[in-house]
Chains A and B, each alone.
Chain A
């Protein structure tokens, strides 16, 4: 248990330090990175590919209802640009499929 608490503190400290480092170094190095074509494309692709890598196994584990939820979320985002509404639609879809 103590080990877990120490591990949690180490994780929080490292992520905090790293995240702040990313925020500040991005600003400080911005003039350099803007000229680096390939690095810029790579970094541009990281957020969506990370998010997709994270959600895909979880969505597919839900089976067909997971895929339906994904399409409804996409449709809602496309129509409303509202993340909160999209979240509700996704959650309701999965909740219905788990209860019936």
Chain B
């Protein structure tokens, strides 16, 4: 089987491959849009986040902490820590970009999200694709994501009391789902539990937002200790 591997072909295949996952991206974006409108986020601020941050989970975190914008450092830290995975996502794309120039890397990496990255990594296993496949997926997701956020933002007025419909719980539910999707094996259980317990205790004791960071760092350190021990035993 020969595959036409021109730039345009890769770009279009990337767009098409991300349309199914785009449905949940739309819903996720709509939830963010609704929360933005409730929290008094202006539409230009939402647009700036969509264009320049383009990372759904961290946008949720920023908007969640919108009541107290004077806490610049905790908000930025929490958002960037949740985005630390992009460092590894970038690292995992090494082989896809092996023939690319630095200019191409600089342009294509901005629109890398969890979804088009996952689709690309999976497709790269059985087809020859170029970074334009990834970029096409990014353009697709960016369009759907933006459309979703504006739809949620504009239609939120139709829902009088969102907490009755538990819409504030929607992103907690998505985070929980994403988290379970990351489960690998039993070794994960102790570090995960440790993170959850530390986060709960810190939130109870100190309030604020730093419990996210404290829970994650302590849980991950436990993970390093356990996996290292396991590695030594083998």
Contact = CB atoms under 8 A, between A and B. Distances in A.
Nearest to A31: B94
A56 B196 contact: yes
Contacts of B70: 3-4, 7
Majority DSSP secondary structure for residues of A touching B: helix
A81 B181 contact: yes
Majority DSSP secondary structure for residues of B touching A: helix
A46 B89 CA distance: 13
Contacts, number: 275
Given A23-B110, A56-B215, A83 B177 contact: yes
A43 B200 contact: no
Residue of A52, A58, A62, A90 with most partner-chain B CB within 10 A: A52
B76 interface: yes
B43 interface: no
A68 interface: no
A73 B92 CA distance: 28
B192 A52 contact: yes
A40 B188 CA distance: 15
B54 to A, nearest CB: 8
B226 to A, nearest CB: 9
B220 interface: yes
Contacts of B180: 73-74, 77-78
Given A8-B45, A45-B191, A23 B112 contact: yes
B163 interface: yes
B85 to A, nearest CB: 4
Interface string B99-141: 0000001100110100000000000000000000000000000
B167 interface: yes
Interface of A: 3-4, 7-16, 18-20, 22-31, 33-34, 37-38, 40-60, 62, 69-70, 73-74, 76-78, 81-84, 86-87, 89-95, 98-99
